[in-house]
Structure 1
Amino acid sequence: MPFPMPVAGLVIRYAFLWRNEAARGQEEGTKDRPCAVILVTNDEDGEALVTVLPITHTTPTDERLAVELPPATKRRLGLDDARSWIVVTDASRFIWPGPDLRPACPGDAASVACGLLPTGVFNETRDKFLAAVRARKAGQVQRSA
C-alpha cells in the first residue's frame, strides 16, 4: 500500500530527532515514536512539507507546552496505555514521505499512519504550538530539504 496523504492531525510513526539531539550533532533520532502532524505546506516544487510534534510519556514540566492525549484517543490510535503528551516546543519538518517514517508492518507504507487526532485535541495542540512559537519557546529541526 502507498504512503497515506499527510494531513494536519494525522498521527504517524516517525524517527523523531529532538532539537537538543540535533544540537549535539546527531542526525538520526534515537527512538521511533508517534508524532502528530501539525502543519502541511508545499515547497516550491510542489512537494509536501510536513511539520510534526513528538508524542512522549515524559510528564511535561509546564502544562502550557504540551497536550495530554485522552486514553480513548490512545486506544483508537493503537498506542499503549501509559499517559502521553504531545510536546509543542520541539518540531521536525521534512519532505513527505521521508526516510524517517516507520511503518508498523514492514513493506506496508500505509502503516506509518495511526489515525487522526480528535478535532478538539488537534485545535488545542495547534493553539499551544502557535503560542509557543510566538513566545519563542518552540523550534524545529529540518530533516530534509
Structure 2
Amino acid sequence: MNYSYLWEYEYKDGRDEGVKDRPVAVVLVTQSDDGFDQVHVVPMTTRPPTRGQQAVEVPQAVRRQLGLSGERSWVIVTEWNRFTWPGYDIRPVRGREPSISHGFLPSGLFRQIRDALIAAAIGRPVDRDL
C-alpha cells in the first residue's frame, strides 16, 4: 500500500502527517471496540536501518514485482502506524492511479517480516487516529 507514513521521530517532533508518501506493508488488521477495522502498517525505505532499527531486506525480485525502485529496500520492523480503515493518509501509487496497492508480499517474505516483528517485541504504534 502507498501511505503517508509518520515516523516515530516525526510524531515526537509534533508532526501529525508524514513528510513523504512511501510503500508500507500491512502486517495486521484488528477490530476496535466500536467495530472498525484497525490497520497496522510498517514502512519500507531505501535507507539502510540505523542503530536501534531492525529491518528485513526486500529481495530484488520482490521489489521488481511490486514496482519499487531498483535500489535496495528494507521493511523496518521496530515501529509501525495504526489507523482506522480507510485512512486519510492512503495515497494512490504513482502511475497506477487510482490504485493504492503495490501488490502482495510473497508469503515467505511476509512470514519473515512477521517473525522479525515478534522478535523485536516493540511497544506502541504511532496511532494516526488521535
Question: TM-score by structure 2 length?
Answer: 0.91
RMSD: 2.0
Match of 1:120 among 94, 102, 108: 108
SS at match of 1:103: coil
8 Å CA contact 1:89–1:139 kept in 2: the answer is no
* Cα deviation, residue 69, structure 1: 0.6
Distance 2:93 2:72 in 1: 21
Structure 1: 5+ residue stretches without partners: 1-11
Q: What TM-score comes out, normalization by structure 1 length? A: 0.82
1:1-145 pair list within 5 angstroms: 12-61=1-50, 65-104=54-93, 108-109=97-98, 111-133=99-121, 136=122, 139-144=124-129
Q: Which is richer in helix? A: 1
**Runs in 1 of length 4+ with deviation above 3 angstroms?**
none
Identity %: 45
Note the residue ranges of structure 2 that are not aligned, 5 or more in a row: none
Instruction: Give the number of equivalent residue pairs.
Output: 129
Shift of 1:65: 1.4
The residue type equivalent to 2:127 in the other structure is Q
Q: Distance in 1 between matches of 2:3 and 2:80?
A: 12
Change in CA separation of 1:33 and 1:124 when aligned onto 2, cut-off 3 Å: same
In the TM superposition, residue 48 of structure 1 has moved relative to its aligned partner by 1.0
